[in-house]
Structure 1
Amino acid sequence: MDCNAHRTGYDPGFLGPAIEPPARAGEGAAVAYDDGEVVPYAHFSLSMHGARRLARWVAWNIDGGGLMRLNRTGIRFTKDRRVPAGHQAGDELYSANRLDRGHIARRADLLWGGREEAEAANRDSFYFTNIAPQLDDFNQSSRQGVWGRIEDALFEDVEVQGLRASVFGGPVFHDDDRVYRGVPIPREFWKLVAFLHDDHLTARAFLLTQNLSVLEALEIDEFRTYQVSVAELEDRTGLRFDAPLHDADTLAVTTDDALRRPLDAPADIQW
Structure 2
Amino acid sequence: MSETPTAQVPGTATGIVAGTAAAADLTGRAGYDPAFLVPGPLVPVPLPVDGTEVVVLPYTHFSVVLRPDRRLAAATVVAVDGAALRDVDRDGQGWFLDPRVGPDAQAGAELYSRNDFDRGHLVRRRDPVWGGPDEARRANSDTFSYANAAPQASGFNQSLELWLGLEDHVLAHAREHDARLVVVTGPVFAADDPRYRGVQVPRRFFKVAGYLLDDGPGGPALASAGFVLDQTPLVEEVLRSEARAQDVPELGAFRTFQVPVADVAELTALDLGPLVPADRMPALVPAAAAEGDGVPMWRPVTAPGELLL
TM-score (norm 1): 0.87
Residues 1:95 and 2:95 are matched in the alignment: no
Q: Work out whether residues 10 and 44 of structure 1, in 8 Å CA contact, stay in contact via their aligned partners in 2.
A: yes
- 2:180 equivalent in structure 1: 164
The residue correspondences of 1:26-65 to structure 2 (distance < 5 A) are 27=51, 33-34=52-53, 36-65=54-83
With a CA cutoff of 8 Å and minimum separation of 6, indicate the structure with the bigger relative contact order.
1
Q: For the residues of structure 2 that align with 1:109 and 1:139, how far apart are their CA atoms?
A: 16
Residue 203 of structure 1 corresponds to 224
Q: 1:54 & 1:255 partners in 2: Cα distance?
A: 34
- 2:244 paired with 1:228: no
Q: Unmatched 5+ residue regions in structure 2? A: 1-23, 215-219, 233-245
Question: Percent identity of the aligned residues?
Answer: 40
Pairing 1:189–2:215 present: no
Q: How many Å apart are 1:135 and its aligned residue?
A: 0.6
- The CA distance in 2 between the partners of 1:80 and 1:187, in whole Å, is 24
Distance in structure 2 (CA, Å) of the matches to 1:6 and 1:73: 25
Query: Residue 46 of structure 2 aligns with which residue?
Result: 20
CA contact (8 A) 2:230 2:252 kept: no
For the 8 Å contact 1:72–1:122, the answer to whether it is kept is yes
1:93 is matched by which residue type in structure 2?
Answer: L
- Native 8 Å contact 2:224 2:275 kept in 1: yes
Question: Matches of 2:252 and 2:262 in 1, distance apart?
Answer: 26
* In structure 1, distance between residues paired with 2:227 and 2:248: 19
Q: Which amino acid aligns with 1:207?
A: V
Contact 1:65/1:162 (8 A) holds in 2: no
Q: Which is further off, 4-13 or 227-236?
A: 4-13
What is the CA–CA distance in structure 2 between the aligned matches of 1:197 and 1:229, rounded to whole Å? 18
Distance verdict in 2 for CA 1:6–1:64, change over 3 Å: farther
Change (3 A) 1:163 1:6: farther
Closer/same/farther in 2, CA of residues 160 and 43 from structure 1, 3 Å limit? farther
Residues 178-200 of structure 1 show CA distances to partners (whole Å, capped at 9, x for unaligned) of 11111111110001101112112
The aligned counterpart of 1:267 is: 305
Residues in 2 aligned to 1:255 and 1:140: alpha-carbon distance in whole angstroms: 32
Q: Distance in 1 between matches of 2:49 and 2:127?
A: 23
Question: Displacement, 1:15?
Answer: 1.4
Report the Cα offset of residue 221 of structure 1.
4.5
C-alpha spacing 1:261/1:204, structure 2 compared with 1 (3 Å): closer
Moved over 4 A (4+): none
1:248 and 1:165 map into 2 onto residues whose CA distance is 14
Q: For the pair shown, which has the larger CA radius of gyration, 1 or 2? A: 2
Q: What is the aligned residue count?
A: 256
Q: What secondary structure, in the 3-state scheme, does the structure 2 residue paired with 1:189 have?
A: strand
Contact 2:171–2:181 at 8 Å: present in 1 too?
A: no
TM-score by length of 2: 0.77
Residues 40-85 of structure 1: CA distance to partner in whole angstroms, max 9, x if unpaired? 1000011111121100010110000111110112210010000111
Q: Cα distance 1:51–1:108, how it changes in 2: closer, same or farther (>3 A)?
A: same
Partner of 2:171: 155
Q: C-alpha separation between the residues in 2 aligned to 1:197 and 1:123? A: 32
Gap regions ≥5 residues in structure 1: 28-32
The answer on whether the counterparts of 2:174 and 2:212 sit within 8 Å (CA) in structure 1 is no
Is the Cα–Cα contact under 8 Å of residues 184 and 209 in structure 2 kept in the other structure? yes
> Aligned residue for 2:15?
none
Deviations 1:236-264 (CA, angstroms, capped at 9, x unpaired): 1111111x222311312546443754111
